[in-house]
Amino acid sequence: MDKLIIEGGKPLKGEVKISGSKNAALPIMAATLLTDEPCVIRNVPRLRDTMTMGKLLISLGKDVDFNNNTAVIKPKGKLGHVAEYEIVATMRGSFCVLGPLLSKLRKAKVSLPGGCVIGIRPVDLHLKGLSALGAKIDIANGFVNARVRQLKGNNIYLGGVSGSSVLATANVMMAATLAKGVTIIESAACEPEIADLAKFLVAMGAKIKGIGSPHLKITGVAKLKGTNYRIIPDRIESGTYMIMAAATRSTITLRQGSFNHLIALVDKLSEVGTKVYQEKGLIKIQPKKIIKPVSMTTHPYPGFPTDLQAQFMALMTLANGVSLIIDKVYPDRFIHISELNRMGAHIRREGLSAIVEGVRNLYGAPVMASDLRASAALIIAGLAAKGRTEIHRIYHLERGYENLDEKLCALGASVWREKTS
């Protein structure tokens, strides 16, 4: 197992290319189960999660070929309906095969994904939506078993306690594409990744209106065809580099990044004192030396993304004052606090809030990554800190950041991997 070593305190400079969106790639890859024709998906990031989804599709009877950042997914024999625990348990996003399998085969058996270190994320909205389409569902021995003679369109409300569910919207929307009649999804997730999935389905021949809004209208069709499609850039990777530039007081440029999908972050960074703007198709980040304290609350899109909360907290540890951070999407997503405090941060949790008292400097220390975005927060802190930081369990990073250490080195960071003893 590798650990990441960072010699902090060095400003970054140059240009970094943003990879394709992981959170768009996973459901789009799952959507290929809806067709018997080949699909070519471009700009797929080579990550542990996309490779896992490829393995799952292969186990279900697809042929998956990755060439650089292009995935060619073709039928190979009879399609299976069972998504086994050994694969689904390693990645929650793989649960989105439930909708397309049920719609295509009229039966599906998919392992429950379970919880994770950032809190339990139930699948009740997934099951509610598919049941409304006519599926008979039971849960036994850790599997969701779903059957239906014919999915039928219906009016479905998918709002939950913490807002709309991205993955439930994906599952129900994919299932509805081959259902009989019209499906209306109210309180659908509006995230760009859901819009990208909808556009992919339309390219396959689906009929979907209201893309990008909380009101989706899906008119079922008899079959879907193969297509050639390019995935959107990863807005969370883009946002991570924006925050990284602000924390290290570095001027950098993002190529093929997401700007319009990150207006909430751009707004908060402007309050911090960091200028983010577009110029000739590139995104420029120009921070100031003094980091102003800013309070922030996460919300579903177009609000501030929960997937950037940990990174933004790392930035606020260096602010000239006190900040308040509230995560209303995943209130338990504060495991990174203790590790940031090991580096000299002053953060305390009070209920759903984290109170961050800015310090003059962070200092390198051995720390442990608990999840994907917490890992990114520790990297930001390590780059800004004085001295050497050792980040253990960096396999989390490989789930969501393509070639991160290589990209950081290209920006001038002193970063390398070492084997743990």
Catalytic sites, residue numbers? 116
- Three-class SS of the chain: CEEEEEECCCCCEEEEECCECHHHHHHHHHHHHHECCCEEEECCCCCHHHHHHHHHHHHCCEEEEEECCEEEEEECCCCCCEECHHHHCCCHHHHHHHHHHHHHHCEEEEECCCCCCCCCCCCHHHHHHHHHCCCEEEEECCEEEEECCCCECCEEECEECCEECHHHHHHHHHHHCCCECEEEEECCCCCHHHHHHHHHHHHCCCEEECCCCCEEEEECCCCECCCEEECCECHHHHHHHHHHHHHCCCEEEEECCCCHHHHHHHHHHHHHCCEEEEECCEEEEECCCCCCCCCEEECCCCCECHHHHHHHHHHHCCCCCEEEEEECCCCCCCCHHHHHHHCCCEEEEECCEEEEECCCCCECCEEECCCHHHHHHHHHHHHHCECEEEEECHHHHHHCCCCHHHHHHHCCCEEEEEECC
